[in-house]
A = this chain, B = another copy of it.
């Protein structure tokens, strides 16, 4: 089944979805990420069924929105390349970054409850995503117990991760928060078989600060301090984790326990 008839894409969110010339041969079976993404728990035949409902559009440019807060909820999304920032705007107009999403990770699940997105998502760099229409996905997981179970797990994981994050924000110092974030990003790179020690941060210091509940200045100071301590190499957005154990120590209680 050729896929480009499958998604008459024009109907949805304006420009973000158009034609996709180079993508015609991408599918879950040949995707490098299938082992850490939604297909994880499925057999070949099941993956095929999943693949059939997935829509792949041309890449998003930096700053493009995947979805916007309060928009009607239609799909969840899996990041295929690049990176995405999730954020929401409070009543009093402040932005709160709720997460960063890397390849193989799924976002948009917070919109299921109210059938409207509870947050916005936008590309931090040129990125491509798989769109998974939720109606069809719900039907499919009705038929594929493995898929249902895996999606339950995915959502559960997000809950657990958010609660970890709560811990971060309520109990930890600036040093600990930054260290933990870096370790988290590092681990996610490792999961994708990329270097866990050297990587580029796709987001700005401002976003990091916002996410961690700190100001830009504080984030900047922490980076500087870590570099001075020989734990990190920092060249603008290029990060080198020089002393992983040291960083882990910072992430925990550090100091003189």
Q: Indicate if the CB atoms of B152 and A112 lie closer than 8 Å.
A: yes
| A159 close to B (CB within 8 Å) | yes
State in angstroms the CA–CA spacing of A152 and B113 once bound together: 7
Give the number of times this chain occurs in the complex, counting copies. Answer: 2
Chain B: CB-nearest residue to A151 = B152
State in angstroms the CA–CA spacing of A92 and B176 once bound together: 12
Q: Indicate if the CB atoms of A118 and B160 lie closer than 8 Å.
A: yes
Chain B: CB-nearest residue to A115 = B153
Q: Indicate if the CB atoms of B96 and A159 lie closer than 8 Å.
A: no
Number of interface residues of A (CB under 8 A): 47
Check A109/B156 contact, CB under 8 A, given A138-B145, A138-B149, A142-B142: yes
| A220 close to B (CB within 8 Å) | no
State in angstroms the CA–CA spacing of A156 and B113 once bound together: 5
Q: Which residues between 126 and 181 of chain A lie within 8 Å of chain B, taking CB atoms?
A: 138-139, 141-142, 145, 148-149, 151-160, 162-163, 165-167, 169-171
State in angstroms the CA–CA spacing of A159 and B139 once bound together: 22
Q: Indicate if the CB atoms of B148 and A110 lie closer than 8 Å.
A: no
State in angstroms the CA–CA spacing of A92 and B39 once bound together: 35
Q: Indicate if the CB atoms of B156 and A96 lie closer than 8 Å.
A: no
Which of B94, B119, B148 is A171 in contact with, Cβ under 8 Å?
B94
Residues of B within 8 A of A114 (CB): 157, 160
Which of B110, B142, B149, B253 is A156 in contact with, Cβ under 8 Å?
B110
Q: Indicate if the CB atoms of B118 and A163 lie closer than 8 Å.
A: yes
Residues of B within 8 A of A156 (CB): 109-113, 155
| A88 close to B (CB within 8 Å) | yes
State in angstroms the CA–CA spacing of A96 and B159 once bound together: 15
Give the interface of A toward B (CB within 8 A): 88, 90-92, 94, 96, 98, 109-114, 118-119, 138-139, 141-142, 145, 148-149, 151-160, 162-163, 165-167, 169-171, 210-213, 252-253, 257
Known contacts A113-B156, A152-B155, A170-B210, then 9 further A-B pairs from the complex at CB < 8 Å, ordered by chain A residue = A92-B252, A96-B166, A98-B166, A110-B159, A118-B160, A159-B162, A162-B162, A166-B169, A170-B212
